[in-house]
Chains A and B, each alone.
Chain A
Amino acid sequence: MEEWLYIQTEVYPALLKGFWVSIELIFPSAICGLVVGIMVGVLRVYGSRPVMAAANAYVAIFRGIPLVVQLFIWYFGLPYIGIYMSPFTAAVLGFSLCSGAYHSEYIRGALLSIKRGQMLAAQSLGFHKVQMIFSIILPQAIRLALPGCGNEIIYLIKYSSLAYMITCIELTGQGKILASNSFRYTEIFLIIGACYLVMTSVASYILGRVEDRLRLPGFEHRRI
């Protein structure tokens, strides 16, 4: 009975609050990350040499430094040069830029796999480069990149748990507080693990539906 009361009055409200903070972190980060990834991916393939080099450097840095360290730099480091951010903003910024670096790699691979003939045809109709990229190449490339990008979004859901390290108390952060107060680490983190599993399952279901919606006739995958 006491257990039940503890869950009802302490665990449930705290985790629910944390859950919503997690959702608030994940959505903008996923969207910004994808937009950044698409832009950077395009620049890495079609940009001029210096732009390409800059985009590659961005990916090298944000993919090469541990995310926790990046978050620390955004939140604890930037105030030294007079830039202050709320924990939430710093977390979303950190997640978006890190996620964007990974997305850009999937987008880049997909862009490179579009046949040259598609570009020749667009050019022969009088398309200029930007029109060609956005109305011919990207719509095809994004379909190819979708499984990879979906993977990255699932991954983002899980690494959003790092936000509590810079005092943005989301699901994992709430769990940590509960657990250290009650010493019920196992129970609480089992619940939290289940919450993440639900989030990632829902996300992967939605991503699957999106893939189905965008699938082109003639490109269905067949079981052999």
Chain B
Amino acid sequence: MAAPILRIENISKRYGKKDVLQGASLEVNKGDLKILIGPSGAGKSTLLQCINFLVKPDEGRIWLDEQEVHYAHKRDLYAYRQKVGMIFQDFNLFDHLNALENVRIGMVKVKGMGKAEAGERAVMELERVGLGDHMQKYPAQLSGGQKQRVSIARALAMDPKVMLLDEPTSALDPELVGEVHAVIRDLGNNGMTMIMATHQIGFASSLASEIIFMEDGRILERGTPDKIFNHAENARTREFCSKITELYGER
């Protein structure tokens, strides 16, 4: 068994008196799709944001490709973040740039690629997520699903080793969820390593290599989709899963 591509050990985060994360640990192998589920306030977002240090954890260590990330060293941190793509619930496209420029700017500014070369790559990534016809549009002219696909293309253009997806379809109209799921499914089939927080358990159970149930900043239970959704050991897990199945159905 190969060493995990990403290893997270004992990550804790406290805001004032509230423990948002209490010692979360995770090992992710290449090609894994780990799904984080749990009620809001469980710490899913915080965990994802801690993984690329958008939130600085109070404790804990992270290894990528068996190299520990020393996030206090700015240069290490910026290099690491390039390798860990992040997808946000509310897309966070750069409002002053069109789709093509959104995808290109990271390659130009961070990787120092030439504009032409980066432009070609951006076109390729946008075509890959099915937006070849919308490259000149600004974020305000795109639908939610299109915006999220641009943001996925933007992350992919940086050649990440791991992608973190923070409820990528939660802000979308139900009709638009499918197009984003198709892109994510495609990524998974191509071997992308992903950690995703979501409430779409139908989608999760069909793709996930492991489901992780979190509550109150802790990982309560983890296992295959079948185990978590059908034979969960923890009563809280069972309760949450039955509630969310009722809501998001289609399992």
A residues near B (Cβ < 8 Å) are 115, 117-118, 120-128, 131, 135-136, 139-140, 143, 216-219
> For A118, A125, A216, which residue has the most chain B Cβ atoms within 10 angstroms?
A125
A-B contact pairs, 16 of them (CB 8 A): A117-B90, A120-B92, A121-B92, A121-B94, A121-B151, A124-B85, A125-B154, A125-B155, A126-B79, A126-B106, A126-B158, A127-B106, A128-B74, A136-B105, A143-B96, A217-B141
B2 contacts chain A at the CB level, 8 A cutoff: no
Q: Tell whether, in the assembled complex, residue A218 and residue B138 are in contact, meaning their CB atoms are under 8 Å apart.
A: yes
On chain A, the residues within 8 Å of B140 by CB distance are: 216-219
What's the least CB distance linking A189 to chain B, in Å? 45
Partner among A122, A125, A140, A218 whose Cβ is within 8 Å of the Cβ of B82? A125
Question: Nearest A residue to B139 by beta-carbon distance?
Answer: A218
A-B contact count (CB 8 A): 76
Residue from B93, B95, B106, B138 with most neighbouring chain A CB atoms (10 Å): B95
Rounded to whole angstroms, the CA-CA distance of A117 and B92 in the bound complex is 5
User: What secondary structure prevails in chain A residues at the interface with B?
Assistant: helix
Asked if B110 is at the interface of the complex by the 8 Å CB criterion, the answer is yes
Cβ distance B164 to chain A, nearest Cβ, rounded Å: 8
Is there an interface contact between B138 and A216, defined as CB atoms closer than 8 Å? yes
- Measured in the bound complex, the distance between the Cα atoms of B74 and A139 in whole Å is 24
Docked pose: A115 CA to B91 CA in angstroms: 12
Q: Kindly list 19 other residue pairs between chains A and B, CB separation below 8 angstroms, not including A124-B86, A136-B105.
A: A120-B86, A121-B94, A122-B94, A125-B82, A125-B105, A125-B158, A126-B78, A126-B82, A126-B106, A126-B110, A127-B110, A128-B78, A131-B110, A140-B94, A140-B96, A216-B138, A217-B141, A218-B139, A219-B140
Q: What is the CA–CA distance of A135 and B141 in the complex, to the nearest angstrom?
A: 21
Contact status of A124 and B81, CB under 8 A, knowing A131-B109, A135-B109, A217-B138:
yes
Q: Is B88 interfacial (CB-CB < 8 Å)?
A: yes
Q: A136 and B110 in contact (CB under 8 A), knowing A123-B54, A124-B86, A125-B158?
A: no
B189-208 vs A, Cβ < 8 Å mask (1 yes, 0 no): 00000000000000000000
Given A139-B96, A143-B96: A127 touches B109 (CB 8 Å cut-off): yes
* Chain B positions 144 through 160: 1 when the CB is less than 8 Å from some CB of chain A, otherwise 0: 00000001001100100
Contacts of A136 in B (CB 8 A): 94, 105
Q: Give the nearest-CB partner of B108 in chain A.
A: A135
State in angstroms the CA–CA spacing of A219 and B138 once bound together: 10
Checking A117, A131, A139, A143 against B88 with a beta-carbon cut-off of 8 angstroms, the contacting residue is: A117
Q: How far is the CA of A123 from the CA of B92 in the complex (A)?
A: 11
**Complex alpha-carbon distance, A218 and B147, angstroms:** 14
B52 within 8 A of A: yes
When C-beta atoms are compared, the residue in chain B nearest to A116 turns out to be: B92
Interface-central residue, A123, A126, A219, by most chain B CB under 10 Å: A126
Give bound CA distance, A160 to B211, whole Å: 68
Q: State the CA gap A121–B106 with chains docked (Å).
A: 10
Chain B residue nearest in CB terms to A120: B54
Are B106's CB and A125's CB within 8 A? Answer: yes
Q: Is the CB of B81 within 8 A of A126?
A: yes
| A92 CA / B92 CA spacing, docked (Å) | 41
A123 to B154, CA, bound (A): 13
